[in-house]
Structure 1
Amino acid sequence: FKDYGQPVKRKKGPAPKMLGNEVCSVCGDKASGFHYNVLSCEGCKGFFRRSVIKSAQYSCKNNGRCEMDMYMRRKCQQCRLRKCREAGMLEQCVLSEEQIRLKKLKKQQEEETARTSAVMTPTPPPEMATLDPQQQEMIEKLVAMQKQCNKRSFLDRPKVTPWPQSQDLQNREVRQQRFAHFTELAIMSVQEIVDFAKQLPGFLELTREDQIALLKTSTIEIMLLETSRRYNPTIDSITFLKDFSYNKEDFAKAGLQFEFINPIFEFSKGMNDLHLDEAEYALLIAINIFSADRPNVQDHDLVERLQQPYVDALRSYIMIKRPNDHLMFPRMLMKLVSLRTLSSVHSEQVFALRLQDKKLPPLLSEIWDVNE
């Protein structure tokens, strides 16, 4: 409208969006939208609609000369209604309360019909995932390799320093025996991981420097993955070599800190909830080893190319095994991200052990970059 005279007709279609700084042409309050061809606030819209529908009779105490603002719009409703009409409010556009209710009901029915139609419309079945012969052969080979490596570690079990039966926490010899027991188990785990990595298709194609870089940073993460698959939720403990079971207190007795122990058990519980099988663990470990973003890796492109077949195989395998769980694949990859955090906590634990004057064996010192 112009100069608050006759309203300017607006083209059909949605109302223009407000810029946020307009004011109501009737009461001077902040406007919120177009209504009956005129810029006005919600208060004026509702007031005009109620007044017209109910044929309200108002009386002005100032002979109709009230100046409308945010205060006077409530004090003199006769002048406010007059101002509304002058500004272009159209009575023929006003809906009664019943008409508004019926309009909302009709809209709800239309939305419900649309939702029902969408549910009833059959969707084409998703394309079934399949493993090609090369992927199937690769997965079977990975599982067999892991079993063979585990078998060799099991045969070395008698070489591990026995866990002391004494409960004396102050005895230095007993504490050293517990620490030796854990470090020897860790050495066996590292050797198992190295043997597995060397048999992975493509690993020996890398330079020796890149092989060492990948193993140094992935070993602790793979050890934690292997630890999680040995977690027993019934007794809240972790079992190594089928016979050695340890709870949180046992880890603490060996010199580890609860700041490192608790995250290990939390991660193990989360992995246990996924109910992964041997093939899924083997593929996750292979993906973890071939991580091109590791420090000191030179040939990033080759490492990424070597990793991709394992990622594709894991995705297809999950789609076949869990066709209704579309989030399992990203959940499993997110566990690899969690391992990065645990790896950082492990570095802090290694530093704490050094402060306690606990000397790590040469193999662990080398692979964890501990400078004695």
Structure 2
Amino acid sequence: NVQLHIVLFSSPPPPVLAQRLLSSNAWTPWEANEFDRNVPRICGVCGDKATGFHFNAMTCEGCKGFFRRSMKRKAMFTCPFNSDCKITKDNRRHCQACRLKRCVDIGMMKEFILTDEEVQRKREMITKRKEEEALKESMKPKLSEEQQRVIDILLEAHRKTYDPTYSDFTQFRVSSSSKRITRSSSVLTHGSSSEDSSDTFNCSLECVENRMFSNMALNEDSDRSPPMDINLSHLSMLPHLADLVSYSIQKVIGFAKMIPGFRDLTAEDQIALLKSSAIEIIMLRSNESFSLEDMAWSCGGNEFKYQIDDVTQAGHNLELLEPLVKFQVSLKKLNLHVEEHVLLMGICILSPDRPGLQDTSLVESLQDRLSEVLQTYILCKHPPPGNRLLYAKMIQKLADLRSLNEEHSKQYRCLSFKPEHSMQLTPLVLEVFGNEIS
């Protein structure tokens, strides 16, 4: 019998960096691109499931180890048959000579085998890298339990005061041009479907609501619609938008009451904060219903879809509406998480520079607390690239809201100065924004 000896006579070329980088389990970029990760990879030696490129060829773990051992021992194997055995997963142990020959045929190279010293250095590098990654991970900012509790409270407050179905909008007065103005007392007293109605809108409110919104618990006589012979054709949306704003103010009150620390303020300071921030929070809240596709606020279908023209029919002009739409677009493009949205609303309400505030230091400390939570949340939870300068951009939105607030106040004063327009506003709107004819 002729015995076949497989002996590797060629001396290995000097090791190079590229060869070392292609050592066990390492893939080159071109190798990774040539194979679809979803396609099963097969060992080129025995047909078993491959685990990657080993020593320059796609193989299983078994053939990888066999080739490494054979090269290190400088083994010489003899085929007991015809030196053309077909190697399979089941018989790969039967003929080491043909198995090794197959390894060489598919391109496995002994130059890619690391020495024991190189293996040790590689293991040390892997261990060091893992330790560095663990240290880096441990140094990342994390939300504390207290910060997470604050976020959870604000999320719950928003859930209780924001109805994404907008079902209550059906109770608002309709456009006066339709000659079907209906009473909205059900919206302002007993008709709210939100979960906080029993807490926020009943007649046993704490002193802050009693002092600030003395007309909140309205009877039917105080909330009658104006006579039908009043000509408001040029402000046909005023009754409906007045009810919408009045409804929204109630929701802002309910949200503010649940902000951690808000109830610790004096009644006067709570009143000052709510009066000065109400319209800004309404503008922030409305961003949830604003659509970039048609630049409109869609509140539960086409029936309550508000375009710019609709708001002009409520007495506001483009000096307010153009920057308002610009604000809505830029805010929408920030793609804020709901957590960031509710924190921004809380920060907006707790502004220490509001007029009429007495304990500005306490308000500032409460706002700083929410600001710190927001910055930590962005670092921990908002992935790049959206988180780049996100906090600064959000704070800029508060400055934009101040400008919008000033313009709204100016236009509101012009609107409420006329008795025929002021009569269309609800007592709650008149009390929050002021009654120029009182």
Same fold (TM over 0.5): yes
User: Which whole-Å CA distance do the structure 2 matches of 1:271 and 1:181 have between them?
Assistant: 26
| Equivalent residue in structure 2 for 1:349, among 398, 404, 411 | 411
Alignment check: 8 A CA contact 2:416 2:436 kept: no
User: Which whole-Å CA distance do the structure 2 matches of 1:174 and 1:160 have between them?
Assistant: 18
Deviation for aligned residue 1:176: 5.5
Matched to 1:322, the amino acid is P
Paired position in structure 1 for 2:341: 281
Paired position in structure 2 for 1:138: 150
Paired position in structure 1 for 2:350: 290
| Equivalent residue in structure 1 for 2:277, among 183, 195, 218 | 218
Segment of structure 1 superposing worse, 233-242 or 295-304: 233-242
| Equivalent residue in structure 1 for 2:377, among 312, 317, 339 | 317
User: Which whole-Å CA distance do the structure 2 matches of 1:224 and 1:159 have between them?
Assistant: 21
Deviations 1:215-235 (A, max 9, x none): 010101111111223210101
The aligned runs of 1:357-368 (5 Å cut-off) are 357-359=420-422, 360-368=425-433
Deviation for aligned residue 1:272: 0.9
Change (3 A) 1:192 1:159: same
Deviation for aligned residue 1:323: 4.7
Segment of structure 1 superposing worse, 240-249 or 259-268: 240-249
Pairing 1:245–2:305 present: yes
User: Which whole-Å CA distance do the structure 2 matches of 1:176 and 1:346 have between them?
Assistant: 16
User: Which whole-Å CA distance do the structure 2 matches of 1:283 and 1:298 have between them?
Assistant: 23
Change (3 A) 1:180 1:297: same
Deviation for aligned residue 1:208: 0.3
Segment of structure 1 superposing worse, 207-216 or 242-251: 242-251
Paired position in structure 2 for 1:188: 247
Matched to 1:255, the amino acid is G
Deviation for aligned residue 1:194: 0.3
Change (3 A) 1:176 1:345: closer
User: Which whole-Å CA distance do the structure 2 matches of 1:132 and 1:309 have between them?
Assistant: 12
Paired position in structure 2 for 1:197: 256
Deviation for aligned residue 1:196: 0.7
SS at match of 2:248: helix
Deviation for aligned residue 1:285: 0.5
Paired position in structure 1 for 2:398: 336
Matched to 1:358, the amino acid is H
TM-score (norm 2): 0.53
Alignment check: 8 A CA contact 1:229 1:271 kept: no
Paired position in structure 1 for 2:363: 303
TM-score (norm 1): 0.61
Paired position in structure 2 for 1:87: none
Segment of structure 1 superposing worse, 355-364 or 232-241: 355-364
Alignment check: 8 A CA contact 1:229 1:268 kept: no
Deviation for aligned residue 1:153: 9.0
User: Which whole-Å CA distance do the structure 1 matches of 2:167 and 2:306 have between them?
Assistant: 20
Deviation for aligned residue 1:164: 6.1
SS at match of 2:421: coil
The aligned runs of 1:64-103 (5 Å cut-off) are none
User: Which whole-Å CA distance do the structure 2 matches of 1:296 and 1:179 have between them?
Assistant: 29
Deviation for aligned residue 1:163: 3.9
| Identity rate, percent | 31
Structure 2 residues without counterparts, runs of 5 or longer: 1-131, 180-229
Matched to 2:358, the amino acid is Q
Matched to 1:234, the amino acid is E
Paired position in structure 1 for 2:237: 178
User: Which whole-Å CA distance do the structure 1 matches of 2:244 and 2:147 have between them?
Assistant: 33
Matched to 1:217, the amino acid is S
| Equivalent residue in structure 1 for 2:332, among 260, 272, 282 | 272
SS at match of 2:156: helix
SS at match of 2:140: coil
Structure 1 residues without counterparts, runs of 5 or longer: 1-121
Residues matched between the structures, number? 248
Segment of structure 1 superposing worse, 337-346 or 356-365: 356-365
Segment of structure 1 superposing worse, 292-301 or 228-237: 228-237
User: Which whole-Å CA distance do the structure 1 matches of 2:396 and 2:350 have between them?
Assistant: 16
User: Which whole-Å CA distance do the structure 2 matches of 1:175 and 1:137 have between them?
Assistant: 49
Change (3 A) 1:250 1:148: same
Deviation for aligned residue 1:371: 3.1
Deviations 1:242-271 (A, max 9, x none): 651111111112222111111111110110
Alignment check: 8 A CA contact 1:228 1:267 kept: no
